[in-house]
Amino acid sequence: MSFSLLNKTRGATPAIPFGKIKDQVLGKDYDLSLALLQPAQARRVTRETKHKDKASNVLSFPLSKNSGEIFLCPATARAQAHEYGYKNGELFLAHLFIHGLLHLKGYAHSDMMDNEEDKVAQRFGY
């Protein structure tokens, strides 16, 4: 299996084509695990990995050249959406997922990464 999703929130899984976006950015042979976390869970992972006491909206971790994992916190994304110029949390969540994928692909924060995020988002109507 090249994509798995675990929803640990109390809400429904967002109607974002996570698998298709993953295939477009990383390819079909890349093994990705995506977990949607509640804020307390995201805060714990952030504390353990980044040594910051906050619920990160997205965290991505490469496991090997062809595998990785992404943690998204939908509640944090909803709370921050307007701050980042998004109409709603689901649009921002899609952006954060693309952002995490590009980190797994090796991109660092830059104008190049921003441009690539925009291209991918446009391909999927975001």
pLDDT of residue 43: 97
The pLDDT, as a whole number, for residue 110 is 96
pLDDT at 1 exceeding the cut of 90:
no
Work out the burial of residue 50: count CB atoms within 10 Å of its CB; fewer than 13 is exposed, 13-18 middle, 19 or more buried. Answer: exposed
Q: What would the pLDDT profile of 82-106 be if each residue is shown by its tens digit?
A: 999 999 899 999 999 999 999 999 9
Confidence band of 7 (pLDDT split at 50, 70, 90): very high
* DSSP string over 7-75: E-SSSPPPS--HHHHHHHHH-TT-EEEEEE--HHHHHHHHHHHH--SS--SEEEEEEETTEEEEEE-HH
Q: Is the pLDDT of residue 121 over 90?
A: yes
Task: Please count the structural domains in the chain.
Answer: 1
User: Which tens digits make up the pLDDT trace of 15-32?
Assistant: 999 999 999 999 999 999
Other Cβ atoms within 10 Å of 33 Cβ, number = 16
Residue that is written with structure tokens 């998004």 in the block = 86
* pTM: predicted TM-score of the whole model, two decimal places: 0.95
**Which residue range(s) make up the domain with 72?**
3-123
Angle at 59 between CA 24 and CA 70, to 5 degrees: 45
CATH number assigned to the domain comprising residue 88: 3.40.390.30
